[in-house]
Amino acid sequence: MPHVNDPDSTPETPAATPPPTSVAPATAVSPATPAAPATSEAAGSGAGSGKVDRRTLMLDASIRVLATHGLRGLTHRAVQEEAGLPNGSVTYYFKTRDQLILAVIERMATLDRAYAGEVTHELLRMTAVRPIAVDYAQLARFTRSWWDATREVQLARLELELAGAREPLVREALIRCQAEFRGFAELVALALGSTNARLDGHIMLAMLQGVLFDHVTRDWDDPQILEIGLRRVIESVTL
């Protein structure tokens, strides 16, 4: 990936904007209830302000551009138009395309974190008893609500995963941001009785990536596909 600005991103001085306000604390969610979608307003606005800071607005617009047009379509101008901002606004915050992509990766991790934490909590609760009794139907409903609510995030992430196979900068950023999710997988593997949680956690995530890819690109109507897919992922540790 060249470390250069887009040809369409010549800086212009945008109107002065106030600094981003503090992030509102996440609302606790009952383990049995799917978390509310992590919207731009919830994840990037100040408490009670009802407004999204401009930087977050740009990053969420970037995710939509990635999901719709792929990495080649991600330019400063495309993000600017998607976000409905004045000329030069994106370049003001992100001088290069590399800076924009790295910030998008961080933003996607933030949007997925609450959902992933809830899934981990629920799995740990289910595996706390012996014999282990995983409610795969409930787990599938929860996971579907997560992936459906963040479909654009998942499509954008898959786009970046492919780019990471060719671009070291993207690959390293993805690995760094996914460290917390690998930790979640290792906790679940330990709870399932793994004797090598690092390896089993890695395999679980790799298999889950395949189930995710199938779900967001095919969107099958049959709920058993996701339910049985999750069962196979978990049983890869217990068998």
Token reading at 40: 């731009």
Sign of CA dihedral 86, 87, 89, 92: negative
pLDDT at position 139 is 93
pLDDT at position 14 is 44
Token reading at 148: 């459906």
pTM over 0.85: no
Which ranges of 151-222 does DSSP label H, i.e. alpha helix? Answer: 151-164, 168-177, 179-191, 197-218
pLDDT at position 51 is 62
> What is the rounded CA–CA span in Å between residue 219 and residue 140?
14
pLDDT at position 218 is 87
Residue type (1 letter), 18: P
Q: What are the distances in angstroms from CA 223 to CA 205, 211, 232?
A: 20, 12, 15
Q: Are 51 and 45 in contact (CB under 8 A)?
A: yes
Q: Are 161 and 207 in contact (CB under 8 A)?
A: no
pLDDT averages per 10-residue partition of the chain, 239 residues: 44 44 38 42 44 90 97 96 95 96 96 91 89 91 93 96 94 94 94 94 94 89 90 88
Neighbour count for residue 127 (Cβ, 10 Å): 19
**DSSP for 45-72?**
B-TTT--B-HHHHHHHHHHHHHHHH-GG
pLDDT at position 40 is 42
